[in-house]
A and B are shown apart, each in its own frame.
Chain A
Amino acid sequence: MEPERGPAAAGARPDLGGLLRAVLASRGRANSVFDILAVLQSEDPEEIQEAVRTCGRLFGALLERRELFVGQLPPEDTVRAGTQGAVCKYKVWMRHRYHSCCNRLQELLAHPAFQVKEQALRVLMTFVQLEGAQPLEKAQWEGHYLFPHSLFRVVVGGLLSSEEDQSLLISQFCQYLEHDDIRYHTMQAAAATTAKVTTQQPEASLTFWNNAFTLLSAVSLPSQDGEVTSFYVKHTELSNKWKVTHLKEHRKAFQAMWLCFLKHKLPLSLYKKVLLVMHDSILPHLAQPTLMIDFLTSACDVGGAISLLALNGLFILIHKHNLEYPDFYRKLYGLLDPSIFHVKYRARFFHLADLFLSSSHLPAYLVAAFAKRLAHLALTAPPEALLMVLPFICNLLRRHPACRVLVHRPQGLELDADPYDPMEEDPAKSQALESCLWELQTLQQHYHPEVSKAASVINQVLSVPEVSIAPLLELTAYEIFERDLKKKGPESVPLEFIPAQGLLGRQDDLCAQLFTLS
């Protein structure tokens, strides 16, 4: 059974079709399979693609014809030496070829050329489908649910590569995730693969985590309890006893997968990404959302942007799952520092803060502390943030009439210093209620006309209805700039009446004093 070495690469391509036909036509020509498999090792991506396609057709046809050995596969040598019939020997031999083909295809999933990867993935998934329909294992009882677990694990293992960024391939894989069974088994396989990789090497590479996160976040469960009907592997009849058919099992698998993923120490960038999708694509689908408490509280203690993002998930847990979290507002208060106006998640943070502070049952001292703190920070904020935070503060005062003393204290005495202590971390001890919002008065002198107007609101009695800050959250300086440019004044452009004498201006200008042209 010495395989004939196929002709060199140049001649190989036209042969493939012929070889395929020959193998499928008669079992006598089976050795040509080696030729086909040899092309899989080729260097030329196009040849590989061709070979992959041929392999797909070949083994697809064989699977359909049930010409592969079914059951526990004996080693090749023992079979050859054994006494089984020729047909059986042929089947075992062919099954071994099938295995080597699958292994090679898994290697190809890490091929540099994307077309090859895609082709390999497609063929592998076809195998999964066919193998599911014609299982290569013997069913242990009637109606036993069989799924090519090992083959599928190979696929997922290829997707969760530690060396290469597979995000494109994973996005291709997403089309299969629409099928319920594939999704279910993907969750299982992903959890298993993650566990395997992390036990092998505790410090897994960033690429692996990125791939894992891409795959995990691509899994999305249906929100309502519908029938689980869409199957990738065609079954003649569905049984209620199968775990795959229950959404509850899906949820369990989903939860197991995420917990398995999150219990490891993640890189910081991934932390942020997970937290960003936490509230709307992870928490609602978990069987027991409270299991996320540990993760979220530890994230909340990290500080900076991450704790900011963790707030959202935490709030959902507090709000919907009765989580008791005593220091929540203190923590929120602690998050308010000057950088809050400059971070990327400003809009999200203020949206959440608005939500957290919307309750009318909050104590006045707390709200006053928040208002005062925000006003204090506003002294360092750029105009786009000011346009948002000033209405925010005014809304706080509107919601809590007890806090109006911050802007209206008719019988107050003149003070030497501001009673408010900006360094105090506990809002209860900050003495904000005894202070006034002089910061807003200061900001009435702001250089930007709209900010100045927004700050001047406190000069009058505050109007009753709140101002919606939703449209202001995403405001950027560029938008303000564009708006200012487009605004048309009622009169023609006023001009400077002092004639220019040079670039740096007159003698008493700062520029002329501090800068020179030479």
Chain B
Amino acid sequence: ARARALRKRTQTLLKEYKERDKSNVFTDKRFGEYNSNISPEEKMMKRFALEQQRQHEKKNIYNLNEDEELTHYGQSLADIEKHNDIVDSDSDAEERGALSAELTAAHFGGGPQLLDRKTTQDGEEENKPKSRKELIEELIAKSKQEKRERQAQREDALELTEKLDQDWKEIQTLLSHKTPKSEKREKKEKPKPDTYDMMVRELGFEMKAQPSNRMKTEEELAKEEQERLKKLEAERLRRMLAKDEDENVKKPKHISADDLNDGFILDKDDRHMLSYKDGKMNIEENVQEEQSREAGGRDSEEEEDQDESSEDEGEGERGEAHTESDGADSHADLESDRESDGEDEKPEEEQQQPPGKRLTRDHQKTRKAASSELPYTFAAPESYEELRALLSGRSAAEQLLVVERIQKCNHPSLAAGNKAKLEKLFGFLLEYIGDLAMNDPPDLQVIDKLVVQLYNLCQMFPETASDSIKFVLRDAMHDMEEMLEAKGRTVFPGLDVLIYLKITGLLFPTSDFWHPVVTPALVCMSQLLTKCPVLTLPDVVKGLFVCCLFLDYVALSRRFIPELINFLLGILYIATPNKQSQGFTPVHPFRALAKNSELLLVSDTAAAAAWQGGGLSLRWASGHSALPLAEANHARLSCVAVCLALLRRCVLLYSPLPSFRAISRPLRVLLTEHLAGSGHPPQLQELSRSILAEMETQKQLYRPLVCEKSKPVPLKLFTPRLVKVLEFGRKQGSSREEQDRRRLVHRHKREFKGAVREIRKDNQFLARMQLSEMMERDAERKRKVKQLFNSLATQEGEWKALKRKKFKK
């Protein structure tokens, strides 16, 4: 071992030591030079392959066509074809193969055998060996001559290409008599960019023809759509039951409803316009069909669309002609909005037709009506105030249009920063909606329209949308919590929170077992129903709206909501005249015999008779102005009606639950009492009776509970438990991580010691080497000194001998 270590040191360290003052190092990078396993032929093959590969890698990665460069005599065929740009270096490369032997021989001396062979060859050819000087002169002359020839050739080639250019230009003017406008404009702007480049690029564009997919038939589209919906529904069910949560974890990503699975989130709008581009203005009334159209047309149209948008960009400033067309389509939008007011089915489809894509429409007809009020492009608002300034004071349709245009002008495919801008827009819109809801009276119609936009934005940016919604919900909850802590009770929040909750239900699937946005929203609603005492009529309306939302949320998942039942029973309780009921005690936030306990009582029989039914208006919830008496009575009756309707829904929803009877017992008590002693209109009585009848029909048996069979517990085993003992002594008896850590520390210590030892040995070795060197040097010096002394002695001796001779003489 010692000998081996020494040998290794001599191989490495000593070498380094000897080369310590040298700065340049020779590294042999030839492939497999020191690999004795490979035969020389193989080695050569591999080297060639490697070289090819390296060359290949250098190619432009975007250039898919040219997989490999074809060569002829080691020269690129493409280069040969080019002719026009022959450069010196190229020709050098060309001749390198032929001349190399001679050149190397002449310039660098070459290898001895090579030179030998050359000379022998020369000798054979000319039978007269030339001297080295002659040879070199000859070489120089040759190369000079060649250079001259090459120059002449290149000049010729240049002349030829120029001539060709001229010819082509003549032909080209004939070919393209319809030069595009953009070309012209560009020419005006930039005097002469580089005509040749432009032409090449143009040719490239012209030659590309896109293969297109076959258009799908209606049946196919319908079938596809059906399948898509089926898949989405299955997905929804899976999330609702939360059966395979583990599986979920493994799944990389939820595929959203509109995801194309191409990593690109495309706005719906763009998909539409293409189906209209052909000039067929057939507008389907059916949303279903429209959806299927999107689904089908998507693939083929996408690319075209992008091309167009890029062209749009290229055009730069918008000329006058553009303004006209924009004006036209803006009007079209207005028109469509007007239509949308009338019909319920159309609006989405109509509104989603973006401006700028209806250029093919008849301009003349619409131009005269182009409204001058609205600008056509909007910068995306950077702050909420900006958005507010943009929208405030406009009519509902105009507001919608503005929002739409902001979206269009900042579509994420148009510029890099647009995505962030639109993401912000979602938050601002949400805030704006909250403000609208808090207005007096609330602008519910506008909100109604803006919701569609929100939905679209949400489909584009699910993460941001969910974050924004979470933010507003947290705000609302925070306010409530603060009030709860300060006063011990809280009040119903404004209409905005309710609207936010509703929007949450529209944007996200509410039937999921767990959902990052919907679950907090459910908790928020639960808070509203348990913590806010009902003091006024608007409170009742708000509470009922929350109940309604709650039931809508669980309509598909059919989940049980205790608070909701409590609340509805409480509402019914405050609408019941005789309070001496025995079987029912109201639950928080309602209290027996509180001052609000007769809030919903209608004493006026005339008002009861005049009541027509109908929906409950959300305006009443804002409660800015007190209602006149008659209207208040109507509102009360409507509240009771809604409450009964909701209860009926609950009864239908929860009748399969095992303890349905326990849940519905107080309801039965209250309803019978309600029927007995109230002068309510016949509709309400009918409703109550139907609920009671519904409950009667639900007969169920109580089946005793049984646990699922669990795996039998394995018998106790009496074989000794084996514990892996890693090291003896005090290191036992700790956790696995601790052991691992200790082992690592130990190993580190050992390695460290080893390294120190190695370094020490290295140093010793070096010292030994230096010592031996010094010894050698000393020995040399001694030897030399001795020699000198010797010579001196002999000299002296000689001199003395001479002297003695002289003396003798």
Q: What is the interface of chain A, defined by CB distance below 8 A to chain B?
A: 337-339, 341-342, 344, 376, 378-383, 386, 406-410, 412-418, 422, 436-439, 441-443, 445-449, 452, 458-461, 476-478, 480-482, 484-485, 487-497, 499-505, 509-511, 513-518
Contacts and interface: CB of A to CB of B under 8 A. Distances in A.
Interface of B: 229, 232, 235-236, 239, 242, 248-249, 251-254, 256-258, 287, 344, 347-348, 444-445, 447-449, 451-452, 454-455, 458-459, 462-463, 465-466, 470, 473-474, 477, 481, 488, 499, 502-503, 505-510, 512-517, 519-520, 522-524, 526-527, 530-531, 544-545, 548-549, 551-555, 557-563, 565-566, 585, 587-589, 614-619, 642, 645-646, 649, 657-663, 701-708, 710
Contacts of B619: 517-518
Contacts of B519: 448-449, 484
Given A495-B459, A517-B617, A382 B254 contact: no
A518 to B, nearest CB: 6
A515 to B, nearest CB: 5
Given A380-B566, A441-B658, A514-B642, A342 B530 contact: yes
A380 B618 CA distance: 28
4 smallest beta-carbon distances between A and B, as pairs: A497-B257, A412-B704, A342-B588, A491-B254
Query: Which residue, B465, B531, B552, has most C-beta atoms of chain A within 10 A?
Result: B552
A441 B705 contact: yes
B526 A383 contact: yes
A435 B558 CA distance: 26
Nearest to B452: A500
A449 B513 contact: yes
A492 B455 contact: no
A517 B232 contact: no
Contacts of A487: 514, 516
Contacts of A478: 477, 481, 527
A382 B563 contact: yes
Given A460-B710, A481-B524, A496 B509 contact: yes
A516 B516 contact: no
Nearest to A517: B444
Given A379-B662, A485-B474, A501 B344 contact: yes
Contacts of A515: 545, 548, 615-618, 642
B585 A338 contact: yes
Given A443-B560, A448-B523, A494-B239, A436 B256 contact: no
A47 B451 CA distance: 68
Nearest to B657: A442
A494 B515 contact: yes
Contacts of B444: 503, 517-518
Contacts of A490: 248-249, 251
Nearest to A491: B254
Contact of B617 (A407, A441, A516): A516
Contacts of A496: 257, 455, 506-510
Nearest to B564: A447
Contact of A409 (B463, B465, B503, B704): B704
Contacts, number: 278
A494 B704 contact: no
A499 B705 contact: no
A497 B645 CA distance: 28
Contacts of A414: 701-704
A414 B589 CA distance: 37
B615 A417 contact: no
Given A379-B659, A493-B517, A496-B506, 4 more contacts: A339-B587, A446-B560, A496-B257, A514-B616
Contact of B548 (A339, A510, A518): A510
A418 B702 contact: yes
A210 B790 CA distance: 125
Contact of A494 (B508, B548, B618): B508
Contacts of A383: 523, 526
A216 to B, nearest CB: 25
Contacts of B658: 438, 441-442
Contacts of A459: 707-708
Contact of A495 (B473, B508, B513): B508
A183 to B, nearest CB: 34
Given A485-B470, A491-B248, A503 B499 contact: yes
14 contacts: A410-B706, A442-B658, A461-B708, A478-B477, A489-B515, A491-B251, A491-B253, A492-B256, A494-B515, A495-B462, A496-B507, A499-B348, A500-B455, A509-B552
Given A410-B706, A418-B662, A493-B463, A488 B527 contact: no
A400 B704 CA distance: 19
B561 A447 contact: yes
Contact of B258 (A380, A448, A484, A497): A497
A376 B666 CA distance: 13
A284 B235 CA distance: 62
Nearest to B257: A497
A484 B523 contact: yes
Contacts of B708: 459-461
Contact of A492 (B235, B462, B565, B645): B462
Nearest to A503: B448
A266 B466 CA distance: 53
A408 B705 CA distance: 5
B330 to A, nearest CB: 24
Given A495-B462, A509-B552, A381 B562 contact: yes
B279 to A, nearest CB: 27
A26 to B, nearest CB: 61
Contacts of A439: 659, 662
A341 B566 CA distance: 13
Contacts of B523: 383, 448, 477, 480-481, 484
Contacts of B561: 446-447
Contacts of A493: 254, 462-463, 465-466, 508, 515-517
A197 B97 CA distance: 125
A42 to B, nearest CB: 40
B669 to A, nearest CB: 12
Nearest to A443: B560
A491 B256 CA distance: 10
Given A448-B523, A460-B710, A517-B618, A511 B452 contact: no
Contact of A513 (B232, B257, B585, B615): B615
B516 to A, nearest CB: 5
A510 B257 contact: no
A517 to B, nearest CB: 4
B70 to A, nearest CB: 48
A8 to B, nearest CB: 48
Contacts of A461: 707-708, 710
Query: Which residue, A381, A415, A494, has most C-beta atoms of chain B within 10 A?
Result: A494
B661 to A, nearest CB: 7
B435 to A, nearest CB: 15
Contacts of B344: 501
A408 B707 contact: yes
Given A415-B701, A478-B481, A438 B258 contact: no
Nearest to B246: A490
Contacts of A413: 704
A436 B707 CA distance: 12
B516 A438 contact: no
B681 to A, nearest CB: 17
A418 B549 CA distance: 32
B184 to A, nearest CB: 44
Given A437-B705, A485-B474, A514 B548 contact: yes
Contacts of B663: 379, 442
A376 B658 CA distance: 12
Nearest to B466: A493
Contacts of B551: 510
A500 B254 contact: no
Query: Which residue, A342, A383, A484, has most C-beta atoms of chain B within 10 A?
Result: A484
A395 B447 CA distance: 50
B462 A417 contact: no
B526 A382 contact: yes
